Structure formats: structure tokens, C-alpha cells
Structure 1
């Protein structure tokens, strides 16, 4: 299937391949080791980020050093009543915080992300305050995150800030491992249920992926953050607002082709503002010290504790 997509990508581009606009409305590719910007397109545009939000959710939960073996009961308040997104996680399920985080990162489950915020110290208000502090610590000056799932279009950022978020997230071993599992059996109330990664490139032949997160709501289009190794380079790509999953995949394929040197970037002299540009003049992009992992190593699981439902007042 990927070969067919790749062939379609080749047919769709002219001789000046990378001067032709990609399917994603914003693109930023940064070499991790040097901070050099390799490709960019509308990287400063502030737009909704959908479930890319869940990387931030995972970081602040890990920073809080909560018991990852503690059982969380999925509450009716975790159900999405805004976008009415589907979930295979039943209300009333008992799931360890570790597995809830895996569901949020790997399968992008919204009930799981909501449950992580609800059971955060201080509840949803405490979670929101922690996110605001984390955003400031990472120097993400163009970012606002109001809730943990990404369902709200008011969660907004630009590609430059999201590279900072990816750099910080990649320092958490739990996040890199969970986000790059192609599938996993999750223990839900004592029953093993298989879940799969929302990124079809994870586990695909030829891809060496170190961090992954997809996102979609209608206001944000199809989004993707990935750390990949290709052509001897470690790079982070941010793709925002593609019109379809296939367009997002084609863009990722072409970024990898550029990194491996299979097709050099040819930027037309009179390229439009919507075209991809190669760049090396921009300053290095770094995550601040606030991005260092504070999470403890995963310990042997002990007897689980149950977080009771919060009574509505």
C-alpha cells in the first residue's frame, strides 16, 4: 500500500518537486542534532493542533510523579460531549494510569486523556495550571492549551512551538515508547483488549520513528508530529492541517526522501508563499531546561489503588 502511495506522490510532483506545495498547510522539519531548519512552510501560522495536545498532557502527568500503577475509573464526565468522538473505552472501566496514558498517546483516545486530567492533583483546574507553567518553561510563546484532549479548536500553536514540544517530549522514555508502539494489549477491568497506533507509519518497513503523535478535528485538519532517523540524520517533522490522512502520509514520505537524499529540494526562484522552502539561516530550535524528564523509572507493579469517581455537586 505504501508503495502505491509513494508512486502516487511521485506522479503528482513536477521536476521542481519540493517547490510544489505539500498537502499540509504548515510544515517544519528540523535536524535534531544541530537545530538546523531543513524545510519550512507557513511555520509561524498559529492554528488548532487537535490531539497533538496529548503530548503536553502526558508530560505534565509524568512531571507530577503520580503512581502509574494506580487504577483510574473512567467516568461519565470523561465522555466527549463536544465533538462526540468515539471511544472503545467503556465508562466504569478500571485501568492503570500507565495504560490510560498509553491509550491517549498510541490510540489517541479522548476519554483516556480526559481521565488523566480529571485525576491530576487539583483536578482539571490543577492540570490546566500545570500545562500553563509547562508551556512557559518550554518557551512556547505562541501556544495556548485549554484542555487535555485537543478536541477544542482553542488549543492552538504553530509549527515552531510544536518542535519545542516534540523536543521536550522525546526526553521522556515513557512517551517515546508508548507513542511508537504499533499495537498493544491493554488491561481493561481485567480483560485484555488490543489497541493500535493511529499513525500507520509506525511499524512500517523502512521507518525508524522515535516519537509519534497524530491529530485531527475538522478545524485542524490532519496533523502529525514525528521524530525520525533517515539518511544518517535525526529530524523532527511537524505537519499541520493536511486535508486527508493520505496527504499527511505523502508529505511524510517526501520529507523522508529529502532526508535520505533521494530527491534534492529544488526551490523555484519565484516560489509562492505556500511552497516548501529549504532553509539553514534560522536559529537553532531548542527545548528549554523545563523539558527535561522528571518521571521516575518504571517500577515493578504493586497492588493497585482505585481512584473513586468524583461525586457531582
Structure 2
């Protein structure tokens, strides 16, 4: 009896040992290590898809200071694109903007009265040196008053789908600094408030819709009427002989986007960098010092580039098994093959198992019937729906609101012409006799 018990114990031990070996071999790739960002709010996203790779209190609205200027930049570039202004459009400033620009505490470039400034000059001063007076001048030029421009800022935020936003001025300064000159309809103690998620979506939209924004944000230094002005973004490639402190923060591939600092906001920075074809966007809000906002940005970007990669989950022309074709009504061919119009590329943690992704077809009811039939004639590449991809695992979602799904169009692989009336008639006759034969056969079967 004791021997049998010993045998059972030995067998059980071996079984557990072998199972542990098997489980060890089947263990998936290690997840990206956790990082701690020394800021109140932070987020890291993929610039191509809006996929969230890291977040810390990203849904909490907070002051964003001069990162607000990204919305002003968007509306300036939109106005140029629509033709209401050009880069060479000229405007002048009033006494308030003149005195405000002379104040070094407000990143002033020293604008002059009775002088014509082009949109390009004002935009460069705003985007590179974060000048507040030039920002307000652009807002007034586009909308007639800064109050009307602020309305447009909030309208555009809604159009872009920002989840949390409240714009009260074009520059990002506390309204208390503007006093009686604050935009009409805004409170004296108000400040622009967005969540890190909203800031990331704003940056994502700005780069997507107006990629030329990076041509300016990547300039480390520019000359404004004889004076050399440094970009407040220390992570650009500054000249070490002129800016030794800035040069020590250089980050390869980084070309934007916007800094921001106020007492309430702390030190903020929206950064973006591209390496090996992958662009990331980071947002740091509420850092305790100027160096810290750049150090934390470096940690975020390194985390993204070192532990994530873009992979092709499904190739172009992919077909789900059992769903490769549709029936064709009134066509010269009775079936047509369908497949994905483009490859599905996603940014994921390195080493992820592709089996964690699932796909399903969603057919367009306006084109394809419930019986999965499409009526001829139609061209090659006719859109018949889309393929939805989902991820069976932990996922932070997308700032674009796509959650854990991605869609790719489904199209017909070939064209099908409509057949002539004679063929249709013969098919109808054939179908008629086929129905009769089936009825007769069923009747005969019923006799036995």
C-alpha cells in the first residue's frame, strides 16, 4: 500500500514538473516594463493610429499653458489652406499688444507699432519662441477679435473629438495676466484646460492634417528683426557653442512640438519624434522644473521606441476563411472574390503573438444583401464593407476613440459586367424547371 502511495506521489511530481516546463515554453513575450513618469499627467501615443502606449491621469483636465498655441497653429494653417489669409498677409498691432510684447516675462519678441507684420513672421514667433502677442495678433486677424477666435477654438476642439477642453484665450496665459484685454465673454480667473489625452489628440490632428507644422517646430533658432531667438524646446539640436545647456538635452529624431509653462500648469511639453518610420507623440503636464519635463519626455519616448514595434497583422488582399466570395446577381459571373484593400499595420509590444488578434467582416447593407449577394454591374475595387480587427488582451485604446478596434475596407477583387437579357431569361427558365423538379422529387420521396 505504501509502495503504491509512493508511486502516485512520484507520478504526480513528474506530471507537475513536466507541466511547468510546458507552461514555461508557452509563456508569451514579456510585457513592456512599467515606467514611472514624474509629472501630474502624461500620455504616449502612436502618431499614425492614435494608439495609446502609456498613460498617467491622462483623462484629468488641467491647465496646459502655451501648449494651447497648437490649436491656434491649427486654425492659422486651416485659414491659409482655405485661402482666407496667406503667409504674406500683413497686419499691425495695437498699443496693448505692443506693451505686452515688450514684456520679457511673456516671451515677447518686441513688436513695433505702425509696422506691417506678415502672417509668416507672426507664426514663426509664436510657434518657435512662444510669443504671446503675436499669437493674439493672429487670432484677431483671423476672426476679427480674440473673443470670436476663442469660440472657433472650442468649436474646432469639438470637431476634432477632444474629450476634455475649455479654451478661454489663444495664447494659454492665465486670463488674469490679460486683465481687461482678455477675450470677451471669458472669466478673469480662467485658464485653458485640457486633459493630456485631449492635448495628444490635438497634436495628433495637427500633424495629420498639417504635417508642415513640423517644418517650423523643428527650427532650434531663428532671427527676428536682427535678434536671434532660441526655441524653448531644449530637445532639438541646438548649437552647443550658443546653447550648451539646451544641447545636452538633444533627442535624435525629435522635431516638435510645443512647450508651456504657467504657475498653475507647471512645466509642460508636447513632444514628437520619428525613428525607423515610427512617429510617437508624448505629453507631459505638471512637471516640477524645466529640465524635468524634457527628462520625462525622454523616458516616455525611449519606452515607446524600445518596447513597441509596428507589425503587419494582416496583409493586403487578406481573406477570411469561409468568407472569400459573394454571390453575384445579374452578372456574367455568379461569384466574386472579396479581400482587404490595404494591409493592417499596428504598433504593439515587441514579441506579441499575432493569434491574439481577431478579424471579422462587416458587410455594407446598402451594397450587399442579407443573402450576401451583390448586383452587377460593378467595378474592381468596389467597396462592400470593412474588416474589423480586435485585440484579445490588455489594451489602453486609442485617443481617436477607436477603442481596441481597427477597420480596413473590403473590396471586390474583380469587376463583373451585367449579363444580357437572354442569359437572364434562360437562368430564369432553368430556375423554374429546377424548382418543379425539386417539388416532384420531394413529393415522390413522400410516397415511400
User: Could you say which TM-score interval applies, normalised by the shorter chain?
Assistant: 0.7 to 0.9
Partner residue in 2 for 1:192: 226
TM-score between the two structures when normalised by the length of structure 2:
0.52
Q: 1:182 aligns with which of 220, 225, 234?
A: 220
Compute the displacement of 1:247 (Å): 0.8
Is 1:219 the counterpart of 2:264 in the alignment?
Answer: yes
SS of the equivalent of 1:227 reads strand
Q: 2:43 aligns with which of 28, 42, 50?
A: 28
Higher RCO, Cα 8 Å, sep 6+:
1
Compute the displacement of 1:224 (Å): 0.7
TM-score between the two structures when normalised by the length of structure 1:
0.73
Q: Does the 8 A contact of 2:59 with 2:196 survive in 1?
A: yes
Q: 1:282 aligns with which of 396, 420, 435?
A: 396
Partner residue in 2 for 1:123: 145
Unaligned runs of at least 5 residues, structure 1? 1-16, 266-278, 289-313
Compute the displacement of 1:127 (Å): 1.1
SS of the equivalent of 1:29 reads strand
Alignment of 1:24-103 (within 5 A): 24-65=39-80, 66-78=85-97, 79-80=99-100, 85-92=106-113, 93-103=115-125
CA distance in 2, matches of 1:96, 1:287: 38
1:114 to 1:55, Cα distance in 2 relative to 1, 3 A: same
* The structure with more helix, counted as a fraction of residues: 2
Partner residue in 2 for 1:4: none
CA distance in 2, matches of 1:165, 1:201: 21
Alignment of 1:124-139 (within 5 A): 124-139=146-161
Q: 1:243 aligns with which of 262, 285, 288?
A: 288
1:146 to 1:86, Cα distance in 2 relative to 1, 3 A: same
Compute the displacement of 1:194 (Å): 2.1
Q: Does the 8 A contact of 2:52 with 2:398 survive in 1?
A: yes
Q: Does the 8 A contact of 1:231 with 1:259 survive in 2?
A: no
Q: Does the 8 A contact of 2:253 with 2:274 survive in 1?
A: yes
Unaligned runs of at least 5 residues, structure 2? 1-31, 175-189, 238-246, 309-348, 350-392, 403-448
SS of the equivalent of 1:51 reads helix
CA distance in 2, matches of 1:280, 1:60: 36
Q: Does the 8 A contact of 1:24 with 1:239 survive in 2?
A: yes
1:120 to 1:42, Cα distance in 2 relative to 1, 3 A: same
Partner residue in 1 for 2:198: 161
CA distance in 2, matches of 1:280, 1:29: 16
Aligned residues: 254
1:206 to 1:36, Cα distance in 2 relative to 1, 3 A: same
Q: Does the 8 A contact of 2:65 with 2:192 survive in 1?
A: yes
SS of the equivalent of 2:59 reads coil
SS of the equivalent of 2:271 reads strand
CA RMSD between the two structures: 2.8
**Structure number, greater radius of gyration:** 2
Q: 2:134 aligns with which of 112, 118, 122?
A: 112
CA distance in 2, matches of 1:206, 1:224: 14
